Chain A
């Protein structure tokens, strides 16, 4: 966004009359709205894709009525959610009940500000990018507990508490596994991490060294757990807790929880692609600066590469969801604390030793001489 704002101030005559800070302000608001315009339909479309994928995996059809192959199903669902009555239970704490979905949604939407899309397409390339993403997504936990408490319903409260316990447990291995990559790059910025990788798989951090390879799986499993998805979906286990923390919600507020959940799936996939799978590095060389800026072919190719990789990972999430059974609470905590955390620590130390012995050379570089 910064490049874009600078470009506008430089090239458009009429903006010079206004002070530059207001131009930046307007650009940022517009950028936020654009992101929202990306997130909401994307999350909506993912719900449809998920249902179709589930249908295929279970040898049934899935939604196919609205539009060709049912692709407008999510529009219909969205309209339905917005038009439905917004019920607040009489026993609920009204203020917190109303506030909770917004905190959950804001927590997951804020992460998009630091997510890269292509070489120049990023809302804010923060120098603490990955830390920022973990920091703002910790707001989601508070929103989830708030919704569980405010509903004044035992099932909701149990769901909220389980979710909080799960998220703060799995945050530990997640951050530890990311630390392995941070050791390799020496930067917390998202674009810097991508630039440190190449286009080919052997230049990705996934295949950089054995420890990074394990770190990817630790990261991905913990991230799936953070999203409360099967096999880690005990907070909203349908067969035990009705729907967990969002049991009492309906209409628009329920839609916000739903959007946040699918936005989170996209976020974890995008972060995994950024950290381990080479990000937007395109496999062929493209001349830079055809028109100088945003609509250039390089950016477009980068954007497409990034989105393809991300949606492959999103598909893996769906695949897991419709293949695996749900873990019990004690199994979940066992996996988190007794396996994930020690493995993540081992990875961290292993990566440090690798750096000590071979520097930041990857396996490919060592084999290639």
Chain B
């Protein structure tokens, strides 16, 4: 399974590099577009972990939905003509210290735990299994989450709509 490992590490490298670009780039737009590669890499890792349905859903929700929303927000909160948007980062030294601290804790936990060795698992189609679980064992969370989505939809519409009205009464900006 040499080539399998190589593919996983390539995806991992894509994720880490683009995530670093998201968090540390001076250009806001670069951050937003680097997020595309992070999401894509995570979807790739999902495929390698035999979570095919989740990989497709990851692309559909994150890339097709959330990322587009984020890019819209970036563009609406700045003047259209600004291609170069710089933004400062604060206290990088303390930040690096915290980074090292978190990494130390996480790595410590990961290496201290004895992971039971599993045999080679077969790849299986997960779609039917997920549907089964969602409509039987996890029916209540499923319904709650659907209500949450509806509430979020209406909430977002209300927040943005109010502003439009205020603008109209207060004169056009």
Contact = CB atoms under 8 A, between A and B. Distances in A.
Interface in B1-15: 1-4
B127 A132 contact: no
Interface stretch (B56-64, B93-101, B139-147): B56-64
Contacts of B65: 168
Given A128-B127, A164-B71, 15 more contacts: A21-B1, A21-B2, A93-B83, A127-B127, A128-B56, A134-B56, A134-B60, A134-B64, A135-B56, A135-B58, A135-B64, A149-B29, A157-B75, A168-B65, A171-B64
Nearest to B63: A138
B36 A142 contact: yes
A149 B36 contact: no
A131 B56 contact: yes
A142 B67 contact: yes
Nearest to A175: B60
A357 B128 CA distance: 23
Interface residues of B, number: 32
Interface in A127-147: 127-128, 131-132, 134-136, 138-139, 141-142, 145-146
B80 interface: yes
A139 B36 contact: yes
A146 B33 contact: yes
B81 A161 contact: no
A145 B68 contact: yes
Contact of B53 (A99, A128, A142): A128
Contacts of B67: 142
Which applies to chain A's interface (DSSP): helix, strand, loop or mixed?
A: helix
B29 A96 contact: yes
A141 B68 contact: yes
Interface in B74-132: 75, 80-81, 83-84, 125, 127
List the 6 shortest-distance A-B pairs measured between CB atoms, nearest first. A138-B64, A135-B59, A135-B56, A131-B56, A127-B125, A135-B60
Contacts of B53: 128, 131
A170 B10 CA distance: 34
A168 B64 CA distance: 7
Interface of B: 1-4, 29-30, 33, 36, 40, 43, 52-53, 55-60, 63-65, 67-68, 71-72, 75, 80-81, 83-84, 125, 127
Contacts of B84: 93
Contacts of B40: 139
Which has the most chain B C-beta neighbours within 10 Å: A92, A138, A152, A161? A138
Contact of A150 (B1, B2, B83): B83
A93 B125 contact: no
B5 to A, nearest CB: 11
Interface of A: 21-22, 25, 91-93, 95-96, 99, 103, 126-128, 131-132, 134-136, 138-139, 141-142, 145-146, 149-150, 152, 154, 157, 161, 164, 168, 171, 188
Contacts of B58: 135
A92 B84 CA distance: 10
Contact of B29 (A93, A161, A164): A93
Contacts of A21: 1-4
Contacts of B2: 21
Nearest to B124: A127
B72 A128 contact: no
Contact of B60 (A96, A138, A145, A157): A138
B107 to A, nearest CB: 31
B60 A127 contact: no
Contacts of B57: 131, 135
A177 B159 CA distance: 30
Nearest to B65: A168
Most A-side CB within 10 Å, residue of B56, B65, B125: B56
B68 A92 contact: no
Contact of B80 (A132, A145, A154): A154
Nearest to A138: B64
B150 to A, nearest CB: 13
